[in-house]
């Protein structure tokens, strides 16, 4: 009898459920083997008013405005059809991370029950968005488990909270008094800027130096051919912020290119001559850098026109003498384009190192002999 009683106590201890914080949550995960993909819906969950969590169901993927007022669960093998309104459930969401909570708010001087989308959460605050009114978005902030209050004065209280979290980041002091547009993107971006001490998310005009080294290929006509040669460039650039991820990057470079060539005379004889280019190069590039990424290395792509002003418009033969008759063929001015891609490494709040590859094309303006120079380069640059 004593052994039976002891065994019963052990079973009760092993399978007992203890409520935490005075609330016992029951999680129901429906059988995924019975799930089917309901068109126009996403997999999600909801929490009932008695704190029961139901997962593994399909919820209709409505518009942003509709999600703020209704939840529609179509009939499916593992769940009956249901419709919920604010107040019927505590919250609902989708597996992609979207989360909506039920809240009673005063909007436009009248009480209203709504579903608020949570767009940001940390250990102290939560930021919510209500988009249920056409062409209008309302943002709310909640400190801890306190009241959900509207964000006013351009999110001044939110900015003060962020500044307190970034007290050891003086590099962001210029942001403190800048006006902030209340939008989903801006709220998340400024949060990352302050909490990560990441000035690149709100970069002003930045300066830098860079170098390139690679291969060059010259095409000058049917009677003249050149071997692939070397090219290199050094210079400086500016990165002018246009938007959060887009920037304009003008460069000023000194370019050197060398190609050994052979020219055909009288359809029988080849005479060796070299192509040496010393030029001032000015690429005008537009760059997209994925500053939304939280990784240390962030990708970028760039594209834009380029022009080149040559310092020497002659070639030399093997003896080193200038071939005067070739001077008339050279182009003092060349134009073209450049395209590139790579990654930027954040070193600290205001400095970064960029490594990438670039292809540049330049052609002469003369119609008699169109000089065409193509270069493939490895690019290394430093921003400050």
| pLDDT tens, position by position, 249-261 | 999 999 998 877 6
- pLDDT, residue 37, reads 62
Split at pLDDT 50, 70, 90, the class of 337 is: very high
Segment among 20-24, 50-54, 93-97, 167-171 with least mean pLDDT:
20-24
Please give the structure tokens belonging to residue 315: 């070639």
> What percent of the chain is modeled with pLDDT above 70?
74
Q: Just give the CATH number of 206-383.
A: 2.40.160.20
- HSE-up of 86 (CA within 13 Å, CB side)? 19
Domain boundaries, the chain: 24-150, 152-197, 206-383
> What percent of the chain is modeled with pLDDT above 90?
37
| pLDDT tens, position by position, 123-137 | 899 999 998 776 788
- pLDDT, residue 120, reads 94
- pLDDT, residue 314, reads 47
Give the span between the Cα atoms of 113 and 10, in whole angstroms: 47
- pLDDT, residue 16, reads 42
Q: Is 155 left (phi over 0), alpha (psi -120 to 50) or beta?
A: left
- Cβ pair 22, 74 in contact under 8 A: no
Give the span between the Cα atoms of 35 and 15, in whole angstroms: 29
| The pairing of beta strand 224-226 with beta strand 206-219 | unpaired
Give the span between the Cα atoms of 193 and 51, in whole angstroms: 36
Give the span between the Cα atoms of 124 and 160, in whole angstroms: 13
- pLDDT, residue 88, reads 96
- pLDDT, residue 101, reads 95
| pLDDT tens, position by position, 79-123 | 899 999 999 999 999 998 899 999 998 877 788 899 999 999 998
More confident residue, 177 or 278: 278
Bridge partners, residue 264, by sequence = 270
- pLDDT, residue 330, reads 65
The whole model's pTM is what? 0.55
User: 310 vs 99, 332, 371, CA distance in Å?
Assistant: 60, 5, 12
**pLDDT over 60 (residue 356):** yes
Sheet containing strand 148-150, strands side by side = 26-29, 52-60, 41-48, 89-94, 99-107, 110-121, 125-133, 136-143, 148-150
């Amino acid at each position: 009898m004593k052994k039976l009683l002891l065994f019963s106590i052990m079973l009760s201890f092993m399978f007992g459920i203890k409520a935490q914080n005075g609330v016992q949550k029951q999680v129901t995960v429906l059988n995924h083997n019975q799930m089917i993909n309901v068109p126009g819906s996403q997999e999600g969950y909801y929490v009932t008013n008695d704190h029961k969590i139901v997962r593994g169901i399909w919820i209709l993927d409505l518009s942003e405005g509709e999600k703020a007022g209704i939840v529609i669960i179509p009939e499916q093998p593992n769940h009956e059809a249901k419709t919920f309104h604010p107040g019927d459930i505590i919250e609902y969401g989708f597996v992609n991370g979207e989360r909506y909570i039920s809240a009673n708010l005063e909007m436009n001087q009248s009480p209203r029950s709504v579903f608020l989308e949570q767009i940001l959460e940390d250990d102290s605050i939560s930021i919510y968005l209500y988009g249920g009114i056409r062409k209008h978005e309302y943002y709310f902030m909640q400190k801890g488990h306190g009241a959900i209050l509207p964000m006013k004065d351009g999110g001044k209280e939110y900015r003060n909270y962020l500044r307190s979290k970034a007290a050891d980041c003086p590099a962001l002091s210029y942001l403190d008094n800048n006006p902030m547009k209340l939008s989903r993107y801006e709220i998340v971006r400024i949060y990352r800027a302050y909490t990560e001490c990441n000035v690149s998310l709100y970069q002003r005009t930045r300066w830098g130096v860079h170098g390139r080294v690679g291969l060059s290929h010259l095409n000058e006509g049917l009677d003249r051919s050149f071997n692939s040669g070397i090219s290199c460039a050094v210079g400086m650039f500016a990165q002018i912020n246009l938007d959060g991820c887009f920037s304009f990057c003008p460069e000023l470079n000194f370019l050197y290119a060398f190609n050994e060539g052979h020219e055909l005379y009288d359809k029988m004889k080849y005479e060796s001559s070299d192509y040496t280019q010393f030029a001032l190069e000015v690429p005008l590039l537009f760059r997209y850098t994925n500053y939304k990424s939280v990784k240390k290395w962030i990708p970028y792509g760039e594209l834009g026109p380029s022009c080149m002003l040559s310092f020497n418009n002659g070639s030399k033969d093997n003896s080193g003498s200038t071939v005067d008759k070739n001077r008339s063929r050279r182009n003092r001015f060349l134009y073209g384009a450049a395209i590139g891609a790579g990654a930027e490494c954040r070193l600290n709040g205001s400095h970064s190192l960029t490594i990438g590859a670039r292809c540049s094309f330049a052609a002469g303006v003369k119609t008699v002999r169109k000089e065409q120079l193509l270069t493939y380069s490895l690019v290394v640059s430093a921003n400050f």
